[in-house]
Chains A and B, each alone.
Chain A
Amino acid sequence: MNNQENVLYIPKIELGIVIDHIPAGKGLKILDIISRYEEMKDVVVTLGQNYYSKKLGKKDLIKLQMEYLAPEIIQHISIVAPGVTIKAIKDFKVHNKVVVHPPKEIRNLLECKNPKCITNQEKHIGTKFTAVDDTIKEVKCNYCERVFKLSELDVINR
């Protein structure tokens, strides 16, 4: 399937946000995240799965008919699917794009996997994780000091 055909499957949007280069299968996970935010409730969303990608082999793609995606949601996406591209579309053209990477410090988004960690007992305090190194593949809980792979941590249920 080439790029020309892709256009047929997901029509171009005049104004909106495209989340591109999502590893195949992760599209649904990102949709799940988006749906947790109140401001996303009425947004028109299109999900495409298993598109051909030169870079990834297969990819998912999400189009959002909205002008502005909150930084909190972008950060959230960057943790679940590091390396995706977020494009702002204006007049059917890419106006701005950014490849998102997880921040070095992640606050109040992830749940600590250590059942004995105080953040799992006193839920109101929130959580904080700091990257162990520049690759941001591993993060350390600022409370119990355990190190986890970023990919193994779940997002706090809102």
Chain B
Amino acid sequence: MKKDLISMEDLTLEKIKSYLSEAKKVEGTPLQDRVRLLPGKILAALFFEPSTRTRLSFEAAMHRLGGSVIGFAEQGATSVSKGESFTDTIHTVENYCDIMVIRHPGEGTARLAANESILPVINAGDGSNQHPTQTLLDLYTIEKYLGKITGIKIAFVGDLKYSRTVHSLINALMKFSVTDFTLVAPEALKLPKYFMRTDQPGKFKFKETESLEDAIPECDILYMTRIQRERFPDLVEYEKVKDSYILSADMLKQARPHLKVLHPLPRVNEIAYNVDKTDFAGYFPQARNGVIMRQAIILKHLGVTL
């Protein structure tokens, strides 16, 4: 087992599957047993930029395994603000803990930490590069809802140009031989062609559309993302598209009964609140799966088997 989890690019299909099966085992273990798994172990959560969900989810995961958490939630509270280098921070903190979870705006930071440290390093997001624990929890959620990943039909909606979550998930799904992708995005936020590149021409179908209504009846998973105002060079363009991708309960009348709506959160207005009460809403259980997947990751990288 490699000691670090840095990038989805490092993971083969087999390795990804091993995380999914570990998460399944974690979920099948009663809470009172889980809490006895890591007594005395310390996780350092080094968050050089704020992130509520990811940090709290890692902290909850560790506490519920019986371990404890040290760390910080923003760079201002650290010696980095006094001019300490990142590598010095890593070499200091590794004396205080058993595993490190790092979020940093600098791209490649987690890889650097992993190269430098003798401890396992988990990447909790490095700029717009990688966020592998999000991708793994997305895959776990899909498998849990549909019973499989290979062969599913998925539509991605919103900002497909800049969303790290979308890029990483598409790449992982291609490893599972998911072949049907529907991409719903305004012209300015379309998925870059680079992410459709493959050495198996003809195997994957990417259907691009600007209509959310057209995509809904055909998919098993509707993966929503937030359209970020700041991404638009021309605000007139933003005004034109900002409301085109608001999913409401009415629109889901055309959906397959088992369809699930996922979202990495936070949402702004792209999913109407009336969707929350429908059976289609999968985004809060998805956040719950985040804790389970992160428990599986912590256990795996500390060498604890269930």
Our pick among A116, A141, A145, A147 for the contact of B106 (Cβ within 8 Å) is: A116
Name the residue in A141, A145, A147 with the highest tally of chain B Cβ atoms < 10 Å from its Cβ.
Answer: A145
Our pick among A116, A125, A145, A147 for the contact of B112 (Cβ within 8 Å) is: A125
Look across to chain B and name the residue whose beta carbon is closest to the beta carbon of A119. B108
Give the complex CA separation of A146 and B105 in angstroms.
15
A56 interfacial contact with B, CB 8 Å: no
A-B contact pairs, 19 of them (CB 8 A): A116-B106, A116-B127, A117-B106, A118-B106, A118-B111, A118-B112, A118-B126, A119-B108, A121-B106, A122-B86, A125-B87, A143-B107, A143-B108, A144-B107, A144-B108, A144-B127, A144-B129, A145-B107, A145-B129
Give the complex CA separation of A56 and B172 in angstroms.
44
CB of B108 within 8 A of CB of A117, answer yes
Give the complex CA separation of A61 and B106 in angstroms.
42
Give the complex CA separation of A145 and B127 in angstroms.
11
B109 interfacial contact with A, CB 8 Å: yes
Chain B residues, Cβ within 8 Å of A145: 7, 9, 107-108, 129-130
Q: Mark A121-149, 1 if CB is under 8 A from B, else 0.
A: 11011000000000000000111111100
A114 interfacial contact with B, CB 8 Å: yes
Chain B residues, Cβ within 8 Å of A141: 108
Look across to chain B and name the residue whose beta carbon is closest to the beta carbon of A142. B111
CB of B111 within 8 A of CB of A124, answer no
| Known A116-B107, A144-B108, A145-B7: A122·B127 in contact at CB below 8 Å | no
B85 interfacial contact with A, CB 8 Å: yes
Chain A residues, Cβ within 8 Å of B198: none
B128 interfacial contact with A, CB 8 Å: yes
Within 8 A of B (CB), among A83-104: none
Within the complex, what minimum Cβ distance (angstroms) separates A135 from chain B?
A: 14
CB of A116 within 8 A of CB of B87, answer no
Our pick among B7, B86, B128, B194 for the contact of A118 (Cβ within 8 Å) is: B86
CB of B87 within 8 A of CB of A122, answer yes
Look across to chain A and name the residue whose beta carbon is closest to the beta carbon of B109. A118
Within the complex, what minimum Cβ distance (angstroms) separates B136 from chain A?
A: 17
Chain A residues, Cβ within 8 Å of B9: 145
Within the complex, what minimum Cβ distance (angstroms) separates A100 from chain B?
A: 28
Within 8 A of A (CB), among B263-280: none
| Known A122-B112, A145-B7: A116·B128 in contact at CB below 8 Å | yes
Name the residue in A114, A143, A146 with the highest tally of chain B Cβ atoms < 10 Å from its Cβ.
Answer: A143
Give the complex CA separation of A134 and B111 in angstroms.
24
Q: Mark B134-177, 1 if CB is under 8 A from A, else 0.
A: 00000000000000000000000000000000000000000000
| Known A125-B112, A144-B127: A118·B85 in contact at CB below 8 Å | no
Give the complex CA separation of A118 and B112 in angstroms.
8
Give the complex CA separation of A117 and B107 in angstroms.
5
Within the complex, what minimum Cβ distance (angstroms) separates A130 from chain B?
A: 11
CB of A116 within 8 A of CB of B7, answer no
Name the residue in B9, B106, B108, B129 with the highest tally of chain A Cβ atoms < 10 Å from its Cβ.
Answer: B108
Give the complex CA separation of A146 and B192 in angstroms.
14
Our pick among A118, A125, A147 for the contact of B107 (Cβ within 8 Å) is: A118
Chain A residues, Cβ within 8 Å of B129: 144-145
CB of B112 within 8 A of CB of A114, answer no
Look across to chain A and name the residue whose beta carbon is closest to the beta carbon of B127. A116
Our pick among B85, B127, B128, B194 for the contact of A124 (Cβ within 8 Å) is: B85
CB of B111 within 8 A of CB of A143, answer yes
Within the complex, what minimum Cβ distance (angstroms) separates B139 from chain A?
A: 19
Give the complex CA separation of A157 and B126 in angstroms.
26
Chain A residues, Cβ within 8 Å of B194: 147
Look across to chain B and name the residue whose beta carbon is closest to the beta carbon of A145. B129
CB of B7 within 8 A of CB of A143, answer no
Give the complex CA separation of A29 and B128 in angstroms.
34
Q: Mark B1-17, 1 if CB is under 8 A from A, else 0.
A: 00000010100000000
Give the complex CA separation of A73 and B252 in angstroms.
63
Within the complex, what minimum Cβ distance (angstroms) separates B148 from chain A?
A: 29
Q: Mark B102-127, 1 if CB is under 8 A from A, else 0.
A: 00111111011000000000000011
Chain B residues, Cβ within 8 Å of A119: 108
Give the complex CA separation of A97 and B127 in angstroms.
45
Within the complex, what minimum Cβ distance (angstroms) separates A119 from chain B?
A: 7
